[in-house]
Structure 1
Amino acid sequence: MDHARVAISTDVERARISRHLYGHFAEHLGRCIYGGFWVGEDSDLPHIDGIRADVVEALRRLEVPNLRWPGGCFADEYHWRDGIGPREDRPAMVNSHWGDVVEDNSFGTHEFMRLCELLGAAPYVNGNLGSGTVREMSEWLEYLTRADDSPMARLRRDNGRDEPWLVPFWGLGNEAWGCGGSMRPQAYADEARRYATFCKDHGGNTVSRIAAGGADDDLSWTRALMEAVACVNCQTSPDSPIFQGVSFHYYTYASQGINTESATEFSTTDYLRTMLRATGIERAIRAHVAVMDSYDPDGKVALVCDEWGTWWQPEPGTNPGFLHQQNTMRDALVAGVHFDAFHAHARRLRMANIAQTVNVLQAMLLTGDDGALVLTPTYHVFEMSKGHQDATSVESAVTAAPVIDVEGTPLGALSASASVKDGALLVSLSHLDPDDSLDVVLDVRGATITGTTARVLASGSLTAHNTAAEPHVVAPRELDVNVDGALVRVTMPPHSFATVHVTLDRD
């Protein structure tokens, strides 16, 4: 058996881990909205105002902090006025990005805000910069958040909602380098400044405006957007930024690129290549942070990763434009190493959104029209990790661990992170070796250990996944813990994810 050691200094505190790093994404794409969240008020399935009740119940257990909607690429062809008022009067549209299907707009602004209320999630609304207008985006924000007798507030009341909502996050378009308008960085930066100017704070609602940045480690977009914040001889500066966040997207695959490889049929080499790509998120974050720090050393502008996750081929027999994919133990470990990277950079990275919540890409849930509901391995990683939300990251380092050779590139066999909250330490461990178990020793410093528990997510094979017929193939179980003074020892199975909860006495 291999051995590893993690040194954890509970008294060396780093940044607060914003709960919004555990955000989600729901696009009008395939069966994420229709057949996932929304079944309609006439459905025979249990629902709350047309929203599927078991989906709400399952997601509430994750304590979803925010939900991004309506896209994605769909956001830049979505016109919000088409999704308000009586459903029978709403005009249809073509969803040209995802399956070329006709969208009837039965799920719109009011339905989304009701969903957020049911989940207890903060709305992250992505406005249409690509095919919309400044006025359209400005009026949507007024419609949602203004309390007085303004024209948009009156329209909202006419549609049945008296009180305004709180909308803390606002996206200024999406992927402007591609589906959001095929723009160049500087051109989009100018547009983002213009749109942000007219996205007003109304009443008690203060909105964080998030500019759409680049993909992976493309720093040209981050640089252009930070120059737009800190530009010389402008009216704004990092002390009062024109937008409050800069986003980037990062998808994980094995080697050939997104949407090219099977979600469930893959080799050990494919798995290891995937883990290399997943751990690369940390290098990408570090690069974006370095650019942002050079313009904004005080960290007033947040880095946001509002699309991340695995992107495999759609399941055979499904509409290829619906991006419906299965979810294995491999996907769970992708989530685990992403969270470790997010925790490490929580000073600047303050929001992230997995793509996507239901039935699409690296989903939490898979649903069937017959009422089936499947919790994926990724769901369990989110549930096991939720204690990190709004905790304080503490110094932790893997001081010894095996290294896996992946076609000449080294891959550490163990990824870890730790946080403290309410007198307890939570440690996350992702063991990436596909074949061997790992004896892990946690060297806990700065406090006395008074109790421990642990859970592990493991499976007999890398390709193991849950289905409606076998929903518990991959599920958490208790993990044995041995404590010897300041040392906590657990044995992790191959390709597994674990959390260790340690109660502390700092007196």
Structure 2
Amino acid sequence: MKGLIWIIGVFVSVEVSAQTTVAISEPFEPVTISKHIYGHFSEHLGRCIYDGLYVGEESKIPNKDGVRADIIKALQELKIPNLRWPGGCFADTYHWKDGVGPKDKRPTMVNRWWGGVTEDNSFGTHDFLNLCETLGAEPYLAANVGSSTVKEFTEYVEYVLHKSGSPMAEWRRQNGREEPWKVKYWGVGNEMWGCGGNMTAEHYANVYRQYATFMTDWSNNDGIFRIASGANVDDYHWTEVLMRDIPKHLIEGVALHSYSFVEWNDKGSSVDYSEEEYFSTMRTALKMDTLIVNHTAIMDKYDPDNTIALVVDEWGGWYDVMEGTNPGFLYQQNTLRDAMIAGTTLNIFNNHADRVKMANLAQTVNVLQAVVLTEGEKMLLTPTYHVMKMYNVHQDAALLTVSFTSPKYVFQGSELPAISISASKNKQGKVHISLVNIDAHKEHVINLSLEEFGTKQFTGTILTSDDLQDHNTFENPDRVKPKAFSKIKIKKGQAEIVLPPFSVVVLQSE
């Protein structure tokens, strides 16, 4: 609606948003937002591993066992709960034995999926699992099914998990690792409907049963968590077949992959995009809610006790590569649009935490919707990094039920919900509310009752900028960063929160 304000002796017409009342309450049944929803994904793709995470022990860039010290620090501060590796499509061409033992004796391979570059296998299983220990993150190994064998797969499990006395455990000890690692999460192949083998769902379900049967827990105290290669976006038949044909005792999780992009063949620039492209990208991002609802309905039919997790182990924005970079390396910038994708998607995951137990943003460094970009010795944190750090207050907190009717973001006769919200209460009793306004033009006003929280005040943090296309560069790495949020008014037990256009806000009860 429009209102009139008095400015320097004249009335000026301005856009004024109607207020939205939000009710937040305890759910009927307690639900914990698993910290693993905030997981990440690092594939041997472009400059994600080499010249990204891993620069080698001899590099002049400060490192720990070849991994950049500044990235380690950034990921620790992000409280990264798990990391998926080595793919992606790369996983189903990767033979793990090529990546262990003396580095100067490891064979090379051609990375056929990503740029045709030669892979020297200098970053292998020991490097990855030791990095996860340094980060305090749980490893998620996506193992080869597409071009491997049951024997190779199960020997991998033995190498990683068996304590001593077996051939693979002794080989691990010869390679410098006395104790087994703690690896709970195992992906049984990746994208088996595509780069993992172009299989039908029916064929893969049988292949999965075979591989999963021979996976042994060995000495891993937490048990083994087997994740089936799941559906591509809205392939509900795929989920139906896996849930119908795989016995429950052989499966703990089903994956789902869905990316956000402009809804025509040209994905468009990651920086120089129009509002039409922004609106389209947000429409695909918000479809994540529908996907989860529909895949969950299928899972509920076969698993009414909710014993099998939905694992969204690839998500994020996907655009054209930056001009002048290798098309196979998928290097793109990261703007406020990506912050909107991250904020809304994480809210969706939080609100479906009863079934969604893990998710993995694609990807950690220099690829797709990365949280870190590097250029030589330089490193920067992206808007997506900042959103995920703001949201880590939800990790392992109790989900709260949020009820409201969102105002609309209208563009050329089409509309999307402008506001996205999730909320949680941590073990200390603090309530955290994450709010996103994706509207490219209008601020929106949110009303909350303080009585619901037993608090008299909220403090907050906001991520926004002057322009929707704003992003951090190596020349200006702090252009987009979180700031204290002050647009909170308290009146008669009500909190009035003003959300600027394209902004992410996280509130904490005081």
Structure 2 length as normaliser, TM-score?
0.94
Give the partner amino acid of 2:422. Answer: S
How far apart in 2 are the matches of 1:340 and 1:142?
38
Matched residue SS, 1:247: strand
Superposition pairs of residues 295-374 of structure 1, within 5 angstroms:
295-369=302-376, 371-374=377-380
Structure possessing the higher relative contact order (Cα contacts under 8 Å, 6 or more residues apart): 1
| 2:128 is aligned with 1:109 | no
One of 167, 190, 215 as aligned partner of 2:232: 215
> What residue number does 1:252 align with?
260
Give the partner amino acid of 2:482. Answer: P
> What residue number does 1:9 align with?
25
How far apart in 2 are the matches of 1:228 and 1:24?
29
Give the partner amino acid of 2:274. Answer: S
One of 475, 479, 483 as aligned partner of 1:473: 479
Superposition pairs of residues 245-284 of structure 1, within 5 angstroms:
245-257=253-265, 260-284=267-291
How far apart in 1 are the matches of 2:344 and 2:450?
21
The answer as to whether partners of 1:171 and 1:210 remain within 8 angstroms in 2 is yes
Cα 1:26–1:397 change in 2 (3 A) is: same
Structure 1 length as normaliser, TM-score?
0.95
Give the partner amino acid of 2:264. Answer: Q
Deviates more, 1:433-442 or 1:422-431: 433-442
Give the partner amino acid of 1:368. Answer: E
Q: How far is 1:290 from its partner?
A: 0.2
How far apart in 2 are the matches of 1:281 and 1:406?
20
The answer as to whether partners of 2:306 and 2:355 remain within 8 angstroms in 1 is yes
How far apart in 2 are the matches of 1:260 and 1:487?
43
Matched residue SS, 2:360: strand
Give the partner amino acid of 1:19. Answer: K
> What residue number does 1:232 align with?
none
The answer as to whether partners of 2:84 and 2:140 remain within 8 angstroms in 1 is yes
How far apart in 2 are the matches of 1:409 and 1:333?
18
Cα 1:182–1:445 change in 2 (3 A) is: farther
Per-residue CA distance 1:228-264 (angstroms, 9 max, x = gap): 23xxxxxx4x3xx21110001010002125x731100
Cα 1:425–1:292 change in 2 (3 A) is: same
Give the partner amino acid of 2:392. Answer: K
How far apart in 1 are the matches of 2:184 and 2:345?
24
> What residue number does 2:6 align with?
none
Cα 1:485–1:197 change in 2 (3 A) is: farther
| 2:418 is aligned with 1:413 | yes
Matched residue SS, 1:8: strand
Q: How far is 1:409 from its partner?
A: 3.8
> What residue number does 1:242 align with?
250
Give the partner amino acid of 1:341. Answer: I
How far apart in 2 are the matches of 1:76 and 1:445?
53
Q: How far is 1:12 from its partner?
A: 5.5
Q: How far is 1:138 from its partner?
A: 0.4
Superposition pairs of residues 100-499 of structure 1, within 5 angstroms:
100-205=116-221, 206-229=223-246, 236=247, 238=248, 241-257=249-265, 260-369=267-376, 371-399=377-405, 401-421=406-426, 422-444=428-450, 446-480=452-486, 481-499=488-506
How far apart in 2 are the matches of 1:56 and 1:23?
15
How far apart in 2 are the matches of 1:192 and 1:426?
40
Matched residue SS, 1:449: coil
Runs (5+) with no aligned partner, structure 1: 230-235
How far apart in 2 are the matches of 1:471 and 1:453?
26
How far apart in 1 are the matches of 2:333 and 2:493?
41
| 2:108 is aligned with 1:87 | no
The answer as to whether partners of 2:448 and 2:496 remain within 8 angstroms in 1 is yes
How far apart in 2 are the matches of 1:29 and 1:204?
30
The answer as to whether partners of 1:76 and 1:131 remain within 8 angstroms in 2 is yes
> What residue number does 1:22 align with?
38
Give the partner amino acid of 1:355. Answer: A
Identical pairs, percent: 47
The answer as to whether partners of 1:10 and 1:425 remain within 8 angstroms in 2 is no
The answer as to whether partners of 1:9 and 1:445 remain within 8 angstroms in 2 is no
How far apart in 2 are the matches of 1:385 and 1:12?
24
How far apart in 1 are the matches of 2:448 and 2:87?
41
Give the partner amino acid of 1:295. Answer: Y
How far apart in 1 are the matches of 2:63 and 2:492?
51
Matched residue SS, 1:330: helix
Aligned length: 491
How far apart in 1 are the matches of 2:458 and 2:88?
41
How far apart in 2 are the matches of 1:281 and 1:14?
23
Give the partner amino acid of 1:220. Answer: H
Matched residue SS, 1:41: coil
Runs (5+) with no aligned partner, structure 2: 1-15
Q: How far is 1:204 from its partner?
A: 3.0
The answer as to whether partners of 1:430 and 1:498 remain within 8 angstroms in 2 is yes
Q: How far is 1:482 from its partner?
A: 2.3
How far apart in 1 are the matches of 2:205 and 2:184?
22
Give the partner amino acid of 1:418. Answer: A
Per-residue CA distance 1:185-238 (angstroms, 9 max, x = gap): 000010011111111101234110000011111111111110123xxxxxx4x3
The answer as to whether partners of 2:268 and 2:277 remain within 8 angstroms in 1 is no
How far apart in 2 are the matches of 1:501 and 1:153?
48
RMSD between aligned alpha carbons?
1.3
Structure 1 runs of 4+ aligned residues shifted over 4 Å read: 10-14
How far apart in 2 are the matches of 1:486 and 1:122?
42
How far apart in 2 are the matches of 1:81 and 1:74?
15
The answer as to whether partners of 2:27 and 2:399 remain within 8 angstroms in 1 is no
Give the partner amino acid of 2:303. Answer: D
